[in-house]
Structure 1
């Protein structure tokens, strides 16, 4: 169900999303290397991510509400550790 996990931040993202949204499908992709030398790059790595998530919870919600649900589940990680997060959130069958 969850693929592309690398380090502890990616694992924490996946764990929080599993608990909050019970996704049918979840991929957490660490894009940090693509941003080496850019603003917000963290030398520790794990600063830029893409999350691809399919969850029943998203049915009937618009794009902004889906992103808010993901952001809410991640909370302090977004403030303290993650510089950029691309979200691809869908309901089953979309």
Structure 2
């Protein structure tokens, strides 16, 4: 199973998101295929949590999966926040490095 599919499956099961978008952004970096991901997650489970606590919740859900990737950009929202914002920020381009 491709890593992106596994990532989507784990996040869907663990966070019951109202909206989930996972992008493989490896092509924007120099570390190879299936290494860099961006996840936009909208879940009621983020209500009342600051961004650090939200990210901790996501990482707890992913646990062992994180050893399989180099980077995961997280954009976490409650349904109300997502209704107001509706879009996650664009990812920066890679500055290089190997």
TM more than 0.5: yes
Greater helix share, 1 or 2? 2
Q: Does 1:16 align with 2:10?
A: yes
Structure 1 unaligned segments of length 5 or more: list them. 1-6
Runs of 4+ in 1 over 3 A off after TM superposition: none
Structure 2 unaligned segments of length 5 or more: list them. 82-98
Larger radius of gyration, structure 1 or 2? Answer: 2
Equivalent residue for 1:77, pick from 52, 61, 65: 65
Aligned position for 2:94: none
TM-score, length basis structure 2: 0.79
2: CA distance, partners of 1:89 / 1:83: 19
What value does the CA root-mean-square deviation take over the aligned residues? Answer: 1.1
